[in-house]
Structure 1
Amino acid sequence: MRRIAVLTSGGDSPGMNAAVRAVARAADAAGVGCVGVSDGYRGMIQGQIRPLDARDVSGIIQLGGTVLGTARSKKFYTEEGRAKAATNLRNAGVDSVVVIGGDGSMHGAELLSQEHGFNVVGVPGTIDNDLSGTDFTLGFDTAVNTALEAIDKIRDTAASHNRLFFIEVMGRNAGWIALYSGLSGGATAVLVPESDWDEDNIRRKVVESFALGKRFCIVVVAEGEREGGAFGVAQRICEATELDYRVSTLGHMQRGGAPTMRDRILGARLGDGAVTALLDGDNEVMIGERKLEIIRTPFQETWTTDDRDFGGLLALMDRLAR
């Protein structure tokens, strides 16, 4: 192996910089060259490739976002675009690639390997936690804690006014942020794509909760869960009631900010694990952490199977919500 290229792709997530730092320094420790690709696959097509040594990544572990930059590229969806990217990588002396991103990034990495012969390893960098082969994706812990902090603050004002709040969190088509922030934030209910739920039942739970003397209720809604998002859900649930309610959408604030300790350590372990996998000659695998062990999962399995216990946590949420 001559030289590794590392890039961050898709939506940014806290901890990406910790992973970039780990890739560059693990490569340096192994005597392998490393380059950074700016702005994801778009930068790869445009030839935005620069040397990345141990000193270049100093002082970035605590930073949110990604110092390499990230972007989504329609051109990379085309064979012509991928061929151009491959040519630029070869011209830079690259034969192996570490891609830090979500499921779309992993799909792109797989195509780059199959069409152009690069050894490619993925690191799951997405706040959505929607890739299997790892207990948690990079950035999820920070995003949940950001959402939880907001929920705690909203609870203060909700209790002051005896009010119901619907709080919309990110997660695209996955309800992990909603579930973890709702469970840890003491929500009355969480509404997620992974579970069928009935608006009449949620209305009943909220009304009963207030009847028991509770001065606030929090309902956490995963973005895109139903038509109209949290606003539409709130209108339908509170229709024909006298419930005093408000809606708060947290939005992209969940992506920003300094990564938590957990995401910094996870980024370090996954980045180092990616270089180790490439040194072992592995290809088309994603590096994850399961039960504190670093494992490798074939790309295809990361977006087609998921054995994590979402249902058990939902059941716990239902038992504890009053």
Structure 2
Amino acid sequence: MTFNALWASREDGAISVELRRIDDAQLMDGDVTVDVEYSTVNYKDGLAITGASPVIRTFPMIPGIDFAGVVAASRHPDFAPGERVLLNGWELSQTHFGGYAQRARVRGEWLVKVPAAFSTRDAMAIGTAGYTAMLSVLALEKGGLTPERGPILVTGASGGVGSVAVALLSQLGYRVIASTGRPEETSYLQRLGASEVIDRRTLSEPGKPVAAPKWAGAVDSVGGHTLVNVLAQTDYRGVVTSCGLAQSTDLPGSVLPFILRHITLAGIDSVNAPQWARTEAWQRLARDLDLAKLGQAETLIGLADVPEIARRILHGQVRGRTVVDVNR
């Protein structure tokens, strides 16, 4: 059988992406074949498709760092035809064909069964960004932060990770401060549960190594001076999670917040996270995420729309979660 896929190739250092028909014989090795229904556009997808960062290591490539669908065939003992599954990260869009196709063949140990509370579309409305947000919330909890400890800051709040983090934290009873460079999204962030919305410019320039504390913890997807200023304004024994680099990969700061205030900086890796961590995150998403709020954060597109959205996401022009209906 043949099916639609976004096909990325590279010539003279430039990446081109086209919609083409391919067949099963062109798929990579794996013991589970999935009829893909939905994928998403994440910041990392933007980096991959535009070539802004060398995410794709093997060409040609089907990009897309996640997908959800139904098992079509399986030689893996944990998965049977007809089961709904999802995949986040691992080698997708790097060295293994990803989710921007109507069919995928992958290793079974990369897959997670879609929780009963979610449809495959819900699973990708959450996607890698939302799963990363949940990993971040779990890290805050494991660091001892409760709603009583004080507010939680979310940077890049109108993006994918930020939107889901705001929704999750507010649902769990935390007071959420949302940082965004898009003031027109204030009402959107308030609907997700933000108690306060601040301008990202208050955090994006060099600041003091230690400043008056304003929050008990934070979920940061920005990095750079923003993350340094977040740390500087975190209260004693606070926890800050780091999962992104929208501003910079640099950390141009001081050790003083760690020494004087016992701050914990927790790195969040969603790509190679062990299966137990993935299962815990998806179980908690099924329990704690308000699907009505998730719906407010979702935009649906087709495969042909992906390259343009991938470009826009790098410029902060995409709100919330972009779901790709691969059959549209």
TM-score by length of 2: 0.36
Structure with higher Rg: it is 1
Higher helix fraction (1 or 2): 1
Give the number of the structure with larger relative contact order, counting CA–CA contacts within 8 Å between residues 6 or more apart: 1
Higher strand fraction (1 or 2): 2
TM-score by length of 1: 0.37
